[in-house]
A and B are shown apart, each in its own frame.
Chain A
Amino acid sequence: MNVALFDYGAGNLHSLGKALEEAGARVTVTSDWKDALAQDALVLPGVGAFGPAAAALPKDPAPVRDALAAGMPCLGICLGMQLLFDDSEEAAGHGIGLMPGKVRLLDARIVPQMGWNDVETGPDPIFAGVEDLVAYFANSYVCIPTDISDAIAWSEYDGIRSAAGARRSNTWGLQFHPEKSSGPGRRIIANFVALAREPS
């Protein structure tokens, strides 16, 4: 199975690429949307800022949104999850808009949230085999889904409860970094690869 690992031009894709490969995926790193949508699955990594990443989306994100809505498997991590929503307080520009909702600045004393936090996981198969998840977060913004049923996981930081995971169709968004969350995180990536192989 071919996975497109989308490259917005910032930061580390290495650990994520390796974790996907170890789970049995063939990884193509690309910054071309046509090329990305031609693969079997899409991964939107979590490094960089919303502005430049949104600018890396096609001017009209409809083809990306349509492909995902039609069932193309996709995993959006951290910033990649935020891009699945409509827009962000961080910067101008639009996200993909697959899930209705906004991205808001974390109103906490210490920002970014940096470190390992507990994640309350729902019964989604992306979390199969993972119990009492404690995952690595590095984020200043959080997603506020309009449709609460899109949320599949929750976490709390400085008294603020927000969606740590969201899903629509075969697209999953995770606010934490599974590729930096040691064994349990790699299990989640392996689960995604398995789910992407046989999309529902």
Chain B
Amino acid sequence: MLRPRVIVCLDVKDGRVVKGTQFQNLRDVGDPVELATRYEAEGADEVVFLDVSASKEARGTLLEVVRRTAERLFVPLTVGGGVRSAADIGPLLRAGADKISVNTAAVRDPGLLSLGAERFGSQCIVASIDALRENERWRCYTHGGTERTELDAVEWAAECEARGAGEILLTSIDQDGARNGYDLELTRQVADSVPVPVIASGGAGGAEHLRDAFTDGHASAALVAGILHDGLTTVGALKSALNGWGIAVRPVANLRPSEALS
């Protein structure tokens, strides 16, 4: 049986993991390699690096971080934020990303999704959608949630899939950072309308919110960030709560890599 996934997201800026609110007041919280491998040991099913660097020079730094991480991380790694054109996909995958996620660049040039899927396979192309409620629907935003587009989130998700995206990372801007649950209606509408996995994002405050994303939201995976980085809970605690409610997430591996190699 396919296990619902718990995915940990880390914001990376200039080669360091940072933390802040709405991209403001960023503070350095550690080394990406160290944090990613710690989350693997805790039971994270995947890790996402979201590059929030502003400068072009940061590109080389990001590739280096991905390279160092891939050598030590043995769960899938998705990298987002660093893809501005099709030319950026190959180097990130070569450096060690298993998947890349695109938002702004895909809205600007949807052909990017098809190009990436043909060349590298749909399984490594993640369409990232930032959605804000507007009347009874959801509107897509780009540039880290700052620029409104004309796209309807549910329709855009279907188009991303049709163009080759193998997965949808769906963030509710309304819920982001609120810690009172994912936008379940948004998640369900998108998950029910596309034949690819949907990752719920934005709003996790506790294990019950992940449970609701899997059950009511029909999500295949749930993204968690702030509550872990702030030490409010751990991946292990989230997973054991989920298991207790009958959501069969992957058990935290009892075999540590070091033991595996002895």
- Whether, in the assembled complex, B145 has its beta carbon less than 8 Å from a beta carbon of chain A, the answer is no
B98 and A12: CB pair below 8 A?
Answer: yes
A108 to chain B, nearest CB (A): 9
* CA distance in complex: A190, B1 (Å): 26
Task: Please pick, from A157, A177, A184, A190, the residue contacting B253 in the complex, using a CB distance under 8 A.
Answer: A184
Q: From known contacts A12-B97, A18-B70, A19-B74, infer whether A48 and B2 are also in contact, taking CB-CB under 8 Å.
A: no
Give chain A's interface residue range (CB within 8 Å of chain B): 35 or more
Task: Give CA–CA (A10, B115) in the complex, Å.
Answer: 13
Q: What is the CA–CA distance of A62 and B13 in the complex, to the nearest angstrom?
A: 50
Pick the contact of A183 from B4, B121, B167, B260 — CB < 8 Å? B260
The reply to whether B70 and A10 contact each other, CB–CB distance below 8 Å, is no
Q: Hey, what's the 0/1 contact readout for A121-141 against B, CB within 8 Å counting as 1?
A: 000000001101010111110
A58 within 8 A of B: no
In chain A, residues 68-113, which have Cβ atoms closer than 8 Å to a Cβ of chain B?
79, 109-113
Judged by a CB distance under 8 angstroms, whether A197 is at the interface is no
Question: A10 — which chain B residues lie within 8 A by C-beta?
Answer: 93, 119-121
Q: Is B122 an interface residue (CB 8 A)?
A: yes
Task: With A19-B74, A22-B261, A116-B45 as known contacts, state yes or no: A110 contacts B96, CB within 8 Å.
Answer: no
Q: How far is the CB of A121 from chain B (nearest CB, A)?
A: 14
Assuming A10-B121, A180-B76, A186-B257, is B71 touching A15 (CB within 8 A)? Answer: yes
Nearest-neighbour CB distance to chain A for B148, whole angstroms, equals 30
Question: How many angstroms from the CA of A180 to the CA of B36 in the assembled complex?
Answer: 13
B255 close to A184 (CB less than 8 A): yes
Min CB distance A146 to B, Å, is 26
Is the beta-carbon distance between A112 and B76 smaller than 8 angstroms?
no
Nearest-neighbour CB distance to chain B for A179, whole angstroms, equals 6
Is B259 positioned at the interface, with any CB of A under 8 Å from its CB? yes
CB atoms of B74 and A15 under 8 A apart: yes
A111→B220 CA distance, assembly (Å): 12
Contact mask for chain B residues 227-262; partner A; CB cutoff 8 A; 1 contact, 0 none? 000000000000000000000001101011101110
B94-A12 in contact (CB<8A): yes
CA distance A28 to B256 in the complex (A): 27
Min distance, Cβ A107 to any Cβ of chain B, angstroms = 11
- A118 in contact (CB, < 8 A): yes
- A180 & B2 in contact (Cβ 8 Å cutoff): no
Closest to A49 in B: B121
Q: Does A117 contact B (CB under 8 A)?
A: yes
Q: Which residues in chain A, 137-194, are within 8 Å of chain B measured between CB atoms?
A: 137-140, 156-158, 177, 179-187, 190
> A190 to B122, Cβ gap below 8 A?
no
CB of A15 within 8 A of CB of B70, answer yes
Q: Please list 16 pairs of residues, one from A and one from B, whose beta carbons are closer than 8 Å in the complex, sorted by A's number.
A: A11-B120, A11-B121, A12-B98, A48-B120, A52-B119, A79-B121, A114-B166, A115-B197, A129-B260, A134-B3, A134-B251, A136-B76, A181-B75, A182-B40, A183-B256, A185-B74
Q: A-contacting residues of B (Cβ < 8 Å)?
A: 1-5, 40, 45, 67, 70-76, 93-98, 118-124, 166-167, 195-197, 220-221, 250-251, 253, 255-257, 259-261
Q: A-B pairs with the 8 shortest C-beta distances? A: A14-B96, A187-B260, A183-B255, A14-B70, A138-B123, A116-B250, A116-B3, A183-B253
Please give 7 more A-B residue pairs, beta carbons under 8 A apart, in addition to A115-B220, A187-B260: A12-B94, A112-B122, A114-B196, A156-B1, A183-B74, A183-B257, A183-B260
